[in-house]
Amino acid sequence: MPELIRNKKEYLLLVLFFVLLIFSYQFAFKKTWKAYKVNKSLSASLNKVNLNYQPDYLHRRNSSLDKVLSKYSLKPNLFRGSAIAQIANLAEKENVKLVEIPATAPELNTAQSQVQRLNFEGDYYSLLSFVHKLQKQNNIGVVRSLNLKVGTNYMPGVDKKLILELYFQILST
């Protein structure tokens, strides 16, 4: 009889092992296998899709570039006329005097852009206010560089004026 009980325990242990194996397959292995197949199919479909194409990003980038180009661009033949007139009007409002418009150096100009040097005279705060307002202006170009110098005045008792050398750049369209 003890052998019979021992055989029953062995069979019971074997049956419990298979039942446990079926439960573990149902709860763990089956779901893991499904998740693996889903992951594999999604990875394959993701490789087929081009993630570099983002139309919203391209639209925002193009509109930003158009804004930058509109700020820089002006017809080169109009620069001597309308842009310098606008700059001179702004300078007059800021109590700054347009002293000189020297000839443009050919090495500064390219097929895509034109650089014009303009000399202004005034006090420090007027010149800074003028440059600030000039940078805010649209459709006349952009300040490329500037240089402040003390003007040479040999008369005693007369305040020396500052001279602003302004290099102004436009893009040729």
Is 38's pLDDT higher than 90? yes
Q: What is the pTM of this model?
A: 0.52
Among 77-81, 82-86, 140-144, the least confident range = 77-81
Q: Per residue in 90-134, pLDDT tens? A: 888 888 988 888 877 777 777 777 788 889 998 889 999 999 998
Asked if residue 120 lies in contact with residue 163, where contact means CB atoms within 8 angstroms, the answer is yes
CATH code: domain of residue 83: 3.30.70.60
Q: Which residues constitute the domain of residue 145?
A: 74-171
pLDDT at 39: 92
Q: Return the number of other C-beta atoms located less than 10 Å from residue 116's C-beta.
A: 24
Distance between alpha carbon 59 and the CA centroid of its chain, in Å? 13
Asked whether residue 158 carries a pLDDT value surpassing 80, the answer given is no
Number of domains comprising the chain: 1
Q: Is residue 46 situated within a structural domain?
A: no
Q: Answer yes or no: is 158 within a domain.
A: yes
pLDDT at 173 over 60: no
For all residues of the chain together, what is the average pLDDT?
79
Does a structural domain hold residue 15? no
- What would the two tokens of residue 18 be? 């298979």
- Would residue 47 count as lying in a domain? no
